[in-house]
Chains A and B, each alone.
Chain A
Amino acid sequence: MITKRIIPCLDVKNNKVVKGIQFKNHQIVGSIMNLAKKYSNDGADELVFYDISASTEGSIVNKNWVSKVADVIDIPFCVAGGIKTLEDARQILNLGADKISINTPALINPNLISQLSNEFGSQCVVIGMDIKFKDAEAYLFAKTGNEKTAYCTNKKAIDWLLQVQDLGAGEVVINAMGQDGVKTGYDLELLRSLERKCSIPIIASGGAGGPDDFIDVFKKTQVDGALAASIFHRNEFSVGQIKEALRANNVNVRI
């Protein structure tokens, strides 16, 4: 059967990899190429690059680094941030990305999802869902690359999930904003509440602090992959160490 995926996430700002806590206070953690090569050699199943300079500043920025990444790694990777049109997506895919992920532009124009899916195939189209609780209900947030621009939409997470699925999305990343960078574990309750209705692959995001969090998310939910940033960027654990721990706990991973 298919293996569970471990996906390092690289937030990119001005051509450097950065990391913040709960989407704030971004610090430079390294160069795009060095980290891409390192994670790929460590056994990452794919990589996600989130260009946070793009989505909050309203423009698609210079993406030449995408083709450089495509030249140095031989695993799939996804690019997110600032993709608003079919042409933006085509540009990124032609530079060598395997998937594109969209968040705010899909919330503003849901039909973009079906256009992308018809044009490039659903396997290319990932929807990022940034979620926070308000009155015990999970809502979607938009423009989350910068705390000043982030706002709560009136869309409930479960409704949006069903809608993007119908429109032809090939995968969703469920990002629990409250858990971002705090390393206290994935939001298992949120994931369980969403996965019941989900027929496309789900990637868990936000909260990974150590091997036990990965073991928990794969043992206690049905997610297909888990995304993490801080623990890899700070060399607390390698992708290989996480996978060894998962295999020792009978989670099917590629080693």
Chain B
Amino acid sequence: MTVAIVDCGGANLRSVQRAVELQNMKSIITNDKAKVSSASYVILPGVGSANSVMQSLKSNNLLDTVKHLTSPVLGICIGMHVLFDQSEENNTECMGIISGNIKKFNPELNIKVPQMGWNKVTFLQEQVKKLDDYYYFANSYYSQIYNHTLATAEYGQPFAATIQNNNFLGCQFHPEKSSHAGKRFLNYFFNEI
């Protein structure tokens, strides 16, 4: 049971790996196609920008590999954004695993951009209500609420805090930086997806 943490050049690899270790899971940081395909779980950590993450996946020939994964996949922050069709961040074409577009927060809604800090997340289905908590966010771009939204939060307007489509789970917050709430969320990913 190995967790592949895909190295997209972001700086939070170490924190993500540490959080995975705390779940008693073995992990590797890799951008090797074969290792990603054969992993029991795959995490796209995603710090940087949508285009830099897409560029990194492309140059390592990982786009098709990720799209066709049947193991549980977790996209964190920009790792979640690249699962969508497109991101407004540098008008980046993304993987299209989940339909919808990523937009930039609108400062006219009387909010600061980026969103930085702990926001209250509400899960929509009864069986995951136990995950309702404060989670740590650091983002300028977001997903609006589509039908695959698993949890929502408010920042000037409601937005998608967690999404799920079959084996693909995405979170806008950083579970690796969200203390106990983040631990419970990762436990959900490893045991219930």
Listed in ascending order, the chain A residues whose CB lies under 8 Å from chain B are 1-5, 40, 45, 67, 70-71, 74-76, 90, 93-96, 98, 120-124, 170-171, 198-202, 224-225, 254
Contacts and interface: CB of A to CB of B under 8 A. Distances in A.
Contacts of B154: 1
B119 A2 contact: yes
A12 B136 CA distance: 25
A224 B116 CA distance: 9
A60 to B, nearest CB: 17
Contacts of A93: 11
Contact of B155 (A1, A94, A96): A1
A98 B48 contact: no
A254 B138 contact: no
Interface string B1-17: 00000000001101100
Given A74-B183, A120-B11, A254-B134, A224 B178 contact: no
A200 B113 contact: yes
B81 to A, nearest CB: 12
The majority secondary structure among interface residues of chain B is: mixed
A96 B15 contact: yes
B30 interface: no
A74 to B, nearest CB: 5
A67 B11 CA distance: 12
Nearest to A74: B179
A123 B176 contact: no
B45 interface: no
11 contacts: A1-B120, A2-B155, A3-B118, A74-B178, A76-B174, A96-B15, A98-B12, A98-B177, A121-B49, A199-B112, A225-B117
A3 B14 CA distance: 26
Contacts of B134: 3, 254
A224 B118 CA distance: 11
Most buried by A among B11, B14, B19, B155: B11
Nearest to B11: A93
B11 A70 contact: no
A120 to B, nearest CB: 6
Given A71-B18, A94-B14, A2 B115 contact: yes
Given A2-B117, A45-B118, A76-B138, 18 more contacts: A1-B120, A2-B137, A2-B155, A3-B117, A3-B118, A3-B119, A5-B117, A70-B15, A75-B177, A75-B179, A76-B174, A120-B48, A171-B116, A200-B114, A201-B112, A201-B116, A224-B117, A254-B118
